[in-house]
């Protein structure tokens, strides 16, 4: 095991798959010579050369169009969209072409591609560079949506995404890039669509994704120590496929459900999970499902206002204590 940062695990995951398969190549804005604007892809150009690691013009449409064509031709491309907000500029290609081609060709054409992007707030980049857009991608049939919370999962889930025969939107929490964790040195692949449960408390389940997972874990610790409330935390890891079996098992064990979401409240992923839980596990519930979210507003750049908008450990703790 090596201790890597979340950002270094990105390069480790791509490098693992490029060594394994010559059909994997990587393109994006400033990803080669500069090592990425968030320094997530350092060393790839030096290791694999300019044929397989390429800088592109500043055009998300060109990046997504190029990886789509490459995937149709039999390669396994990885394309970086620098900020997830910029999916808005190429969403027609993602939603109407990438997501639908395998279905519309009756499986004759597969699109084994990955679209990586830095997602979410926490770094004071303002409303146009801080959005959590996982609910955008989740709403489009034909896309898989992955969002890791730890360096080990970055490497393992990115590897699985590159090997998958369907297009994957891989969302990296930019606020976690500097965090560290142990990552396997050898080949590491984590299955898509399998959530991870932390803790075995029987009072409350906190369902979280990506940057909200460390906050949920810290809140669970405080709830146990300060309020004698036993929590288990479900790290979803992916939204499509969605591991409802693990979620429903946690609901049955606790009876109280709280989602912790960075995305704006309206139509966030927690609404879908709440709907399924209400349909399939209503009689396991001991109280209403509670969603802890960012409000439905453009995310402010001011430090205090951004911290107020995005769910915090304090807000998670206060909400659970109030609802118990």
| CB-CB contact of 203 with 231 (8 Å) | yes
The answer to whether residue 129 is catalytic is yes
Alpha carbon distance 59, 41 (integer Å): 19
CA atoms within 13 A on the CB side of 145: 25
Sign of the C-alpha dihedral, residues 174, 191, 67, 36? Answer: positive
> Nearest Cα to 12, choosing from 274, 239, 1, 228?
1
Place of tokens 């999962």: 153
- Active-site residue identified among 129, 188, 198, 296: 129
Sheet arrangement for strand 204-208: 196-198, 231-235, 204-208, 257-264, 290-294
| Sequence-distant (≥ 6) Cβ neighbours of residue 275 within 8 angstroms | none
DSSP designation for 239: E
Catalytic sites, residue numbers: 129
């Amino acid at each position: 095991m090596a201790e890597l940062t979340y950002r270094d695990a990105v390069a480790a995951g791509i490098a693992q798959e490029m060594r394994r398969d010559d059909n994997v190549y990587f393109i994006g804005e400033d990803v080669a010579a500069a090592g990425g604007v968030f320094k997530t892809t350092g060393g790839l150009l030096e290791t694999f050369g300019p044929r397989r690691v390429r800088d592109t013009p500043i055009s998300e449409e060109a990046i997504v169009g190029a990886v789509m064509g490459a995937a149709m031709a039999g390669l396994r491309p990885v394309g970086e969209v620098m900020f997830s907000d910029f999916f808005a500029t190429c969403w027609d290609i993602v939603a109407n072409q990438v997501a639908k081609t395998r279905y519309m060709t009756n499986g004759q054409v597969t699109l084994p591609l990955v679209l990586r992007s830095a997602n979410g707030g926490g770094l004071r980049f303002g409303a146009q560079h801080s959005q959590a857009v996982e609910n955008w991608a989740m709403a489009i049939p034909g896309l898989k949506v992955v969002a890791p919370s730890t360096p080990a999962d970055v490497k393992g889930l990115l590897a699985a995404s590159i090997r998958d025969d369907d297009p994957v939107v891989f969302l990296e929490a930019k606020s976690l890039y500097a965090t560290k964790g142990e990552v396997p040195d050898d080949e590491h692949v984590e299955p898509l669509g399998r959530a991870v449960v932390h803790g075995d408390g029987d009072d409350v389940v906190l369902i979280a994704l990506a940057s909200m997972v460390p906050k949920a874990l810290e809140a669970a610790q405080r709830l146990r120590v300060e309020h004698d409330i036993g929590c288990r935390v479900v790290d979803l890891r992916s939204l499509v496929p969605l591991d409802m079996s693990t979620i429903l098992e946690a609901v049955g064990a606790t009876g109280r459900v709280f989602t912790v979401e960075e995305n704006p409240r309206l139509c966030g992923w927690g609404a879908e999970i709440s709907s399924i839980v209400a349909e399939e596990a209503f009689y396991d519930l001991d109280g209403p499902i509670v969603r802890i979210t960012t409000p439905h507003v453009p995310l402010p750049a001011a430090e205090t206002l951004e911290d107020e908008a995005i769910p915090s450990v304090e807000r998670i703790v206060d909400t659970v204590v109030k609802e118990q």
